[in-house]
């Protein structure tokens, strides 16, 4: 499918995609670019790339596909380093969790001799690093592409084919719309989880040790979400600020209403609200999105 | 272990405990009391009780153990119905998620010829009803007992033995302390999950359908928590009001601080906060509390 694919950033997602590419034989050659020489060494030792370098300009040479798998906050800077070294006709894509700011960071740096096809595989675990990746991560998961109107159809089709070969279902979306939908389904839940685990972390020592000892199911789920990669999530919130703050505002209003109902002993309001949320779970199960098992859950 | 156990309320927890009692042969006789005649019929058809009745006064007769498995909000009312019909020396216990208000509701209604040993098994799923129970629900889970100072040691020991026979680890705690710990580990997470799923539910129709379609892992976890039994959770919040409002206040302050950091592009604050929450997850894994799998996850 490709002559040479360069992965820039070789963490959980990059290494999982590289594993799938190797397993499905989607590229003659695989190149790893990572800022850490230690990661480069480990990737070569695990046989996940044919070559590895810390230099993006060197790593993209001769590649017909470059996949940015770094935190979204550094993509612009990295692109500035390699943009002048891309082959004519090369496709540049990414796996970032926000799309509008990534396009704004990448597009101005790329010449019109290369094709930008932004992508976001909705898949992941709370673990980080190349050792924790696995080729099956993307099977039956959505991958959202957010190409711009001027993008060549052939480049979009090649990226679609890549993700479908890895087992994903591909959907095309406007970048702003992607950021709003993910703001509520992924970014806000992570922010909330980080908050509540932090609140528990700030408790007096005696009660904190019991919170850990008796962590009930609700809290345990939150701690898993809140153990996700700090750099990645810092960048997500800084780069999807508007959508996250908009959703957070709505959430805060709803939380205040429930808080008031508890304070006023308004059992009818609570019951009504808790009944409605049950329905949306059933719709998600019907949509086939509730069957995925994290590696630490089986 | 017991001559006759009466379960009052035969939902997920009651039916799971009855299954464990039958499987481990912990009682000669099992009686089901449920306000629904339909539930009584189904329980008998499933072979989960020897007798079933909708009348609590009738159901407790001849029993040496009565286990209240109703939502906590109705326990006082139900106790008023059966209290005069208890055998001398009978032990009364419960499985409610709050303890202080349950003691206040039950103790004044019970004579000093019977023993109250309040209990809370920290176990459950988002499913309700006797069909969804299973005997293994309590294995390796904590069960917290909150007896009062005057309670006879022998009664506490019998309830301890019951839960240990079902596979649980038993811990004794002050009721107020229990309510505070569970306020942060269970009640607040449920309130937050109910809120965010409600926020999504209120979105405009076009984006709502995509929220369901592309529900990422964070949101999916929240919808599972938010599909828990509405009556049970309404009662929890009304009966653990002080602790929940206290924890909610702390949570809101922390959320406001993160919101401000996002608005001000304070990446250092976000990174610092997200790094700290990772540690508490590792402590929970070390404490052996992160290995439990919900029935819908495998």
Min Cα distance B289 → chain A (Å) is 7
* Cβ atoms of A130 and A15 closer than 8 Å: yes
Per the CB < 8 Å rule, is B287 touching A215? yes
CATH class assigned to A2-173: alpha beta
Q: Is A264 on the interface with B (CB under 8 A)?
A: no
* Cβ atoms of B262 and A187 closer than 8 Å: no
Inter-chain CB pairs, A–B, below 8 Å = 306
Which residues of chain A neighbour B276 with C-beta distances below 8 Å?
A: 198, 201
> What count of residues does chain A have?
298
Mean pLDDT over residues A93-115, rounded?
Answer: 96
ipTM score assigned to the predicted complex: 0.86
Q: pLDDT tens for residues A227-258?
A: 888 999 999 999 999 999 999 999 999 999 99
Min Cα distance B96 → chain A (Å) is 14
Per-domain boundaries in chain B:
2-173, 177-297
Q: Is B275 on the interface with A (CB under 8 A)?
A: yes
Predicted confidence band at B217 (pLDDT cuts at 50, 70, 90)?
Answer: low
- Structure tokens belonging to residue B233: 């959770």
What does the mean pLDDT of chain B come to? 92
DSSP per residue, B55-104: -HHHHTTT-SEEEE-S-GGGHHHHHHHHGGGPPTT-EEEE--S--HHHHH
What's the pTM value of the predicted model, to 2 decimals?
0.85
pLDDT at residue B74, as a whole number: 96
Q: pLDDT tens for residues B114-131?
A: 999 999 999 888 888 999
Q: pLDDT tens for residues B53-97?
A: 999 999 999 999 999 999 999 999 999 999 999 999 999 999 999
CA angle B109–B114–B115, rounded 5-degree value: 95
Which residues of chain B neighbour A247 with C-beta distances below 8 Å?
A: 199
Smallest Cβ–Cβ distance between A221 and the set B203, B225, B252 belongs to B225
Q: pLDDT tens for residues A151-160?
A: 999 999 999 9
Specify the CATH architecture of the domain A177-290: Orthogonal Bundle (1.10)
| Nearest Cα to Cα of residue A10 among A41, B91, A26 | A41
Min Cα distance B28 → chain A (Å) is 32
Q: pLDDT tens for residues A182-208?
A: 999 999 999 999 999 999 888 887 788
CATH for the stretch B177-297: 1.10.3660.10
Predicted confidence band at B18 (pLDDT cuts at 50, 70, 90)?
Answer: very high
Which residues of chain B neighbour A281 with C-beta distances below 8 Å?
A: 126, 197, 223-224, 226-227
- Structure tokens belonging to residue B60: 């407790």
Q: Examine the pLDDT at A297 and tell me if it is beyond 90.
A: no
- Structure tokens belonging to residue B160: 């301890």
């Amino acid at each position: 499918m490709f002559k040479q694919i360069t992965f820039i950033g070789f963490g959980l997602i990059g290494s999982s995609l590289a594993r799938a590419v190797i397993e499905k034989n989607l590229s003659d050659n695989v190149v790893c670019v990572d800022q850490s020489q230690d990661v480069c060494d480990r990737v070569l030792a695990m046989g996940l790339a044919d070559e590895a370098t810390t230099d993006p300009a060197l790593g993209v040479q001769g590649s017909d596909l470059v996949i940015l798998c770094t935190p979204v906050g550094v993509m612009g800077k990295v692109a500035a380093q390699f943009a002048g070294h891309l082959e004519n006709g090369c496709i540049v894509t990414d796996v970032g969790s926000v799309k509008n700011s990534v396009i704004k960071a990448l597009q101005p740096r790329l010449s019109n001799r290369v094709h930008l096809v932004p992508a976001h595989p909705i898949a992941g675990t709370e673990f980080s690093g190349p050792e924790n990746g696995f080729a099956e991560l993307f099977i039956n998961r959505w991958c959202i592409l957010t190409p711009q109107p001027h993008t060549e159809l052939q480049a979009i089709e090649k990226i679609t084919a890549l993700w479908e070969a890895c087992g994903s279902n591909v959907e095309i979306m406007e970048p702003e719309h992607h950021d709003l939908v993910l703001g509520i389904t992924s970014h806000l839940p992570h922010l909330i989880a980080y908050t509540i685990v932090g609140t528990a972390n700030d408790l007096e020592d005696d009660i904190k040790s019991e919170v850990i000892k008796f962590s009930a199911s609700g809290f345990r789920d939150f701690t898993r979400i809140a153990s996700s990669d700090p750099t990645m999530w810092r960048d997500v919130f800084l780069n999807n600020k508007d959508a996250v703050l908009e959703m957070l505002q709505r959430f805060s209003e709803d939380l205040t209403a429930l808080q008031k109902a508890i304070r006023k002993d308004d059992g009818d309001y609570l019951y009504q609200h808790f009944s409605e949320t049950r329905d949306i779970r059933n719709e998600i199960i019907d949509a086939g999105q509730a069957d995925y098992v994290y590696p630490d859950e089986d």
